[in-house]
């Protein structure tokens, strides 16, 4: 067990720790992983061996390649520059090598013991297990510590450590840091498939469905969704994903694993056809600026009605995911709900008085009642 002094910080219901590790602790505890990285050919290693201060072969062994990782590939130029900077700091001794905190996460809850009168100051215990920590920001800085062959760098590394984030929070933190602070290319973030971003299969499937709705040329939702906080869309991915995760949970809970497996294979097709069908029923509202049919509240209500729509489509066309069956299933909405229901300054605003949550529940009831024959 490694024990380090720590400051517990609370921000909007989330707790994390400010602490520091020795460079030796970093080598023991931190797991490095990327989606991919270019390997150094043997000939290149031999040529660089006499002049390079970096043992690239050893460094490559420290980095794992994983389909579940979301860190960008290692940038050799950045490693070389950091190693050179560390050497200069070590020789001159007039500048700190890593003055800013790296951000790390662990999936293991850690024990924090307050000391003294301030309950937020104390000692943090971390199991001495290889790879227990993962680096969310600062991976190049830490890799450079172990990249030198001629001399060791013994320094304290300031760190921010999270031990209570779920997979979705981890992804959102990663995106916030890299898309909004360091301006990592948004295409890298958006192109990551759900299975790489999320360990939870519900969240992974929700991400992939929402991404397809936002990118597919034939999708009525193309460009309307802000994926992972990036893009020009007006609708947040988070609210839609939350609704979909609840939907998937209910599908498996009520229908069993086989039904959910069937939906996993056909869910993308269903939602693409579903929103095409909604467009066919409410064309004026869907394309008009004075309507609120493409707000988060309305879209969540449509998602919540998915099981009812699938059941009705299966009864009409013997295919729960077929466009024509779905279109026939939702056709009653045109007559019984009407496009005026979504006018922003009309009935929508009156019923929004109960709040967004109340609006979702109310619209869900209205849509469900309108499906009944």
Residue 219 binned pLDDT confidence (cut-offs 50, 70, 90): very high
Q: Sorting pLDDT into bands at 50, 70 and 90, what band is 328?
A: very high
214 and 320 part of one domain: yes
Percent of the chain beyond pLDDT 90? 40
> What is the pLDDT at residue 366?
93
136 shares its domain with 269: no
Question: What pLDDT is stored for residue 196 in this prediction?
Answer: 56
Classify burial at 140, counting beta carbons within 10 Å of its beta carbon; exposed 0-12, middle 13-18, buried 19 or more. buried
Instruction: Return the higher-pLDDT residue of 43 and 322.
Output: 322
Q: How many helices (H) and strands (E) does the chain have?
A: 17, 11
Specify whether 20 is located in the same domain as 161: yes
> Does residue 194 fall inside a structural domain?
no
Residue 186 inside a domain? The answer is no
Q: Are both 76 and 140 inside the same structural domain?
A: yes
Q: Tell me the pLDDT tens digit for each residue of 15-32.
A: 999 999 988 888 888 887
What's the confidence (pLDDT) of residue 164? Answer: 82
Q: Which of 63-67, 156-160, 170-174 has the lowest mean pLDDT?
A: 63-67
| Percent helix, percent strand, percent coil in the chain, to nearest 5 | 55, 15, 30
Q: Are residues 323 and 276 in the same domain?
A: yes
- Report which secondary-structure segment, H or E, holds 343: none
pLDDT tens digit sequence for 190-214: 455 555 566 678 888 888 899 899 9
Establish if 171 belongs to a structural domain: no
Per-residue pLDDT, 90: 78
Domain for residue 71, yes or no? yes
Counting the structural domains of the chain, the total is: 2
The domain boundary residue, chosen from 120, 146, 165: 165
pLDDT at 285: 94
pLDDT value at 356 more than 90: no
Task: Please give the pLDDT value at position 72.
Answer: 58
Q: Are 124 and 207 found together in one domain?
A: no
Q: Where are the beta strands (DSSP E) in 38-168?
A: 63-65, 102-105, 111-114, 121-126, 133-137, 156-162
Q: pTM of the entire structure?
A: 0.57
User: Given this model, what pLDDT does residue 179 score?
Assistant: 54
312 with 356, same domain?
Answer: yes
* Highest-pLDDT range among 35-44, 83-92, 93-102, 319-328: 319-328
In-domain check, residue 195:
no
pLDDT in tens, 111-139: 999 998 899 999 999 998 888 888 888 88
- Answer yes or no: do 98 and 236 share one domain: no
How many Å apart are CA 271 and CA 367, to the nearest integer?
Answer: 17
Q: In terms of residue numbers, what domain contains 33? A: 2-165
**What is residue 8's predicted lDDT score, i.e. its pLDDT?**
93
Q: What is the distance between the alpha carbons of residues 34 and 72, in angstroms, rounded to a whole number?
A: 6
Say if 189 falls within a structural domain: no
- 40 located within any domain: yes
């Amino acid at each position: 067990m490694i024990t380090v002094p720590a400051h517990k910080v609370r921000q909007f219901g989330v707790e994390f720790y400010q602490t520091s590790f020795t460079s030796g602790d970093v080598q023991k505890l931190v797991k490095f992983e990327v989606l991919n990285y270019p390997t150094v050919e043997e000939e290149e290693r031999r040529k660089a061996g006499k002049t390079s201060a970096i043992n690239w072969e050893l460094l490559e062994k420290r980095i794992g390649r994983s389909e579940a990782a979301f860190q960008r590939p290692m940038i050799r130029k950045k490693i070389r520059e950091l190693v050179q900077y560390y050497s200069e700091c070590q020789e001159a001794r007039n500048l700190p090598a890593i003055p800013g905190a790296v951000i790390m996460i662990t999936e293991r809850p850690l024990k924090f013991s307050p000391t003294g009168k301030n309950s937020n100051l104390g000692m943090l215990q971390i199991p001495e297990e290889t790879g227990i920590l993962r680096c969310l920001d600062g991976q190049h800085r830490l890799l450079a510590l172990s990249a030198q062959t001629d001399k060791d760098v013994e320094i304290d590394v300031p760190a921010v450590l999270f031990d209570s984030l779920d997979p979705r929070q981890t992804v959102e933190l990663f995106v916030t840091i890299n898309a909004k602070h360091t301006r990592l290319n948004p295409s890298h973030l958006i192109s990551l498939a759900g299975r790489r971003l999320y360990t939870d299969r519900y969240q992974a499937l929700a991400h992939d469905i929402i991404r397809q709705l936002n990118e597919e040329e034939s999708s009525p939702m193309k460009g309307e969704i802000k994926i992972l906080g990036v893009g020009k869309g007006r609708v947040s991915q988070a609210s839609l994903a939350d609704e979909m995760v609840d939907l998937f949970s209910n599908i498996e809970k009520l229908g069993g694993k086989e039904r959910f497996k069937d939906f996993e294979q056909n869910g993308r097709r269903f939602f693409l056809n579903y929103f095409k069908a909604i467009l066919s029923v409410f064309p004026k509202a869907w394309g008009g600026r004075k309507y609120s049919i493409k707000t988060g509240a309305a879209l969540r209500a449509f998602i919540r009605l998915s099981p009812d729509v699938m059941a009705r489509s299966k009864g009409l066309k013997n295919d729960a995911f077929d466009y024509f069956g779905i279109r026939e299933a939702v056709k009653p909405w045109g007559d019984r709900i009407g496009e005026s229901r979504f006018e922003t300054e009309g009935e929508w605003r009156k019923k929004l008085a109960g709040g967004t949550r109340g609006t979702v529940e109310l619209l869900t009831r209205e849509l469900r009642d309108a499906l009944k024959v």
